Amino acid sequence: MFVMVEKNTPKKNNVTEESTKSSDDKIALVIMNFAIDIFYSIFFIVLAYLAFWIIVVLIILGFIVRAVGSEQPEDLKNFTKRLSIYMSECLDFSSQEEKEKPFPFGKFPD
């Protein structure tokens, strides 16, 4: 008479299930980080676009002030320069040249 003895292998299956769960968690984390990076990139591209049009308006305003016969205010020049630097920072972050998030998550350029 033969008696079949089944090997008790739940430990191996349990380990396999845990490694599958952990690899699934890693994949989900990578996908989530990728989605967040895309969201931030789009957000800062939109901010750079808005900054571009504000710079255009400020440049036109500067030409109007100069056409009237006055000097362009120093504050206007400085703010336009700072805004162009900010636009550059937004695009650098969106293209992943920089890892540090610009304003409003960081400081506005000096």
Q: What is the pLDDT of residues 68-107, one digit of tens each?
A: 988 878 999 999 999 999 999 999 999 999 989 998 888 9
The total domain count for the chain is 1
Q: Is residue 77 part of a domain?
A: yes
For residue 70, being part of any structural domain is answered with yes
- Domain membership of residue 53 (yes or no) is yes
Q: Which 3 state secondary structure label does DSSP give 4?
A: coil
Residues 58/23, Cβ–Cβ less than 8 Å: no
Peptide bond preceding 104: is omega within 30 degrees of 0, i.e. cis?
yes
More confident residue, 19 or 66: 66
- Mean per-residue pLDDT, 26-40: 94
Which residues constitute the domain of residue 59?
40-94
Place of tokens 């931030």: 40
Give rounded-to-5 percent helix, strand, coil for the chain: 75, 0, 25
Please provide the average confidence, as pLDDT, over all residues in the chain. Answer: 85
Q: Are 40 and 26 in contact (CB under 8 A)?
A: no
Looking at residue 5, what DSSP letter applies?
-
Q: Which residue has the tokens 């500067």?
A: 62
pTM: 0.73
CA distances (Å), 95 to each of 54, 64, 84, in order? 22, 35, 17
